[in-house]
Amino acid sequence: MPKLYEYFGLIILFYSNKHEPIHVHGKYQGRESIAEIIFENGEFKEVRVSGVKGKESLHSKNERRLRKLVEHFREDIVQKWVDFFIYNKEVKSEVITKKID
């Protein structure tokens, strides 16, 4: 369960047993949502945020933070996905202290 980012208390991570589409989980104070990076014909289309079955979803403020972070770092997240799931490499966690607009 590699942690990718920490952003104002919001933890962004992969679950090690997950599959495509490329996605991350965002956790904050016991709540959790998923952000999927959607591609169409090899081009980035959108980030889709949804709830996790059996868990309370992030509050709207943190869902917006999750979406912005994934949109901002999507290329890095895709590379980390490939490194972790394809090449079995460790991924380095980052603490983000500046607000993403």
CA distance 88 to 95: 22
Residue 85 gets the label, from left (phi > 0), alpha (psi -120 to 50) or beta, of alpha
CA distance 1 to 24: 11
Q: What is the pLDDT of residues 2-20, one digit of tens each?
A: 999 999 999 999 987 767 8
Q: What is the pLDDT of residues 10-49, one digit of tens each?
A: 999 998 776 788 999 999 999 999 999 999 999 999 999 9
DSSP 57: P
Q: Facing residues of 88 across strands?
A: none
Q: What is the pLDDT of residues 47-84, one digit of tens each?
A: 999 999 999 999 999 999 999 999 999 999 999 999 99
On whether the CB atoms of residues 65 and 59 are closer than 8 A, the answer is: no
The pLDDT value given to residue 31:
98
CB atoms closer than 10 angstroms to residue 31 = 17
Choose among 37, 28, 86: nearest CA to 59: 28
